[in-house]
Amino acid sequence: MTVRIAIRRLPHAEGLPLPAYATEQSAGMDLYAAVTDPVVVAPGERAVIPSGIAIALPPGYEAQVRARSGLALRYGICMANGVGTIDADYRGEIGVLLLNAGREPFTITRGMRIAQLVIARCERIAWVECELLDETARGAGGFGSTGTTP
């Protein structure tokens, strides 16, 4: 199924590609840096990088901004907030909050692929408060309780 989503290219993104899937089976679309001048992110610092786009998601959907694994592996560039969530009612520019967890300054240049955008259905829920929850094999076991080996 193809979901049609309105997208607005902002003036500072003129000439940059719209987000697109790199392959037929890609889950995410590349987001490009819509910077006018290079941005240097020092080790341990964060920067919001403009994507140059705004979108109008339909109700029941969210857009997830995710790190690019190659930038994380090679340079230590990751998302400062893990995964960014774009809500269906947000109409502003999508910013990419990057963190340099590497050892060297990293320069972001115009048109660089800086993140991925994944569109996902988002269910609404209603809480049902209760005194007891159903039992499971895991129970209340938390962090690391299932171990690291089979």
User: Is residue 88 in some structural domain?
Assistant: yes
The tens digit of pLDDT for each residue in 86-120 reads 999 999 999 999 999 999 999 999 999 999 999 99
CA distance between the termini of the chain: 37
User: Is residue 144 in some structural domain?
Assistant: no
Can you tell me the distance from the alpha carbon of 81 to that of 98, in angstroms, rounded to the nearest whole number?
A: 8
* CATH value at residue 79: 2.70.40.10
User: Is residue 99 in some structural domain?
Assistant: yes
pTM of model > 0.85: yes
Look at residue 54 and tell me whether its pLDDT is greater than 80.
yes
User: Is residue 108 in some structural domain?
Assistant: yes
User: Is residue 106 in some structural domain?
Assistant: yes
User: Is residue 39 in some structural domain?
Assistant: yes
Q: Residues 51, 53, 54, 57: is their CA dihedral positive or negative?
A: negative
Chain mean pLDDT for the chain: 95
Give the domain range for residue 80: 6-121
User: Is residue 64 in some structural domain?
Assistant: yes
Contacts of residue 55, defined as CB under 8 A and 6 or more positions apart, other chains included, come to: 5, 6, 7, 8, 63, 86, 94
